[in-house]
A and B are shown apart, each in its own frame.
Chain A
Amino acid sequence: MNQVEHVANLARLQLSREELERLSTQLSRILAYMEELNAVDTAGIPGTTSVVAGDANVLREDEVQPSLSQDQALRNAPDAVDGLFQVPQIISDR
């Protein structure tokens, strides 16, 4: 339950008591299934990090391409001031 609350907080999700309980049960079942998968011997098999099998080194030249205009960039922003995105006050800097 505490763990679910922690993960929800990291994902900035606000969950009701009832949701927390339901998700705790579901996540426990998912984790139990992961335990089953852990039983498979994967020693010596490299992890799959991409489904584009066998591909590597997709690179681009260091060339500048046109950017969006300021208007286009800010089009989806709920609030903007002087060409800047406006967001709620952040209490402390990162």
Chain B
Amino acid sequence: MAYKVVCYINQFFAGMGGEEAAHQEPFAKREPLGPAMQINFLLGDEAEVVGTVVCGDSYYGENIEIARERCLELIKGFSPDLLIAGPAFNAGRYGVACGDICVTAGEILGIPTVTGMYYENPGVELYSNKTFIVKTADSARGMKDALQNITTLSLKLLKGQKLRPAEEEGYFHRGIRKNFFYEENGAKRAVDMLLKKLKGELFKTEYEMPTFKKITPAKPVKDIKNATIALVSSGGVVPKGNPDRIRVSSAESYGKYDISGIDDLSPEIFESIHGGYDRVWANKDPDVVLPVDVMRQLEKEGVFGKLYDYVYTTTGTGTSVANAERFGKEIGEDLKKAGVDAVILTST
């Protein structure tokens, strides 16, 4: 029996019109529409497009939760083995809709999902680690290649075939590394890479470093005498016994601890659980990492207004960038609500 594939497309590719039809509400047809016709042809005998779900790009973008739910219901109605969305090329709203419905269908229906986008489509950054996004040209002029690559990858996924690295398969890296044995050992490969680099030749790293965003600096504190300042730390100083069981490395959580009334972090009440540095000094006096004692003194002297009643701490060793960003975002929102004016963050 052939595998069942459902396609998701927008109002434009369904032949309904451009912006004037972009508020089209979701509906489904029991047949391939638009690019799904070519997909159906390319899938050959092994798989069949059993239905197409259509939704206007503006409708999806402006009602994302309702649109997601309704499209998912329509897709589910076909009990597909795989979902193909788009391709969206460089269309931003369409890219977000394709990525969002792919991730949702993958998570809830447990099926593989494939879409296609141009590398600058914002959908790539948002969804490339949660679905397969095939690299396409920036416009529908690249439709032929896009559909060919999408169906080739889809058939592999349907048949459970082993995938080669993302770059060779033609989709955006999902941030997944797989273990396998090389013929040559690491030392030889590293030296080969270094020699290529010295010669100015292209070389491919085996461990890509994450790229970090930069942000515009926040405005400075104007009235320090009335400012509330919070202490945050990735140095792993927590109340003795680590009540929230924060991991010693690769942290997946942070703690928020009341320090009101505490003038000094003594080793009787606080300790360091950080797994990435020698904790001897920090365990003799946790203030060398989380400086509550001197901050309290400066507060009493009136150098600044108030030391915020809570500290936030985690361990910053082996902690994933995604988790660290999430901690920061949550802590920032909490501090904003509390009316804190500035943060001193210590790291080891």
Partners in one complex: no
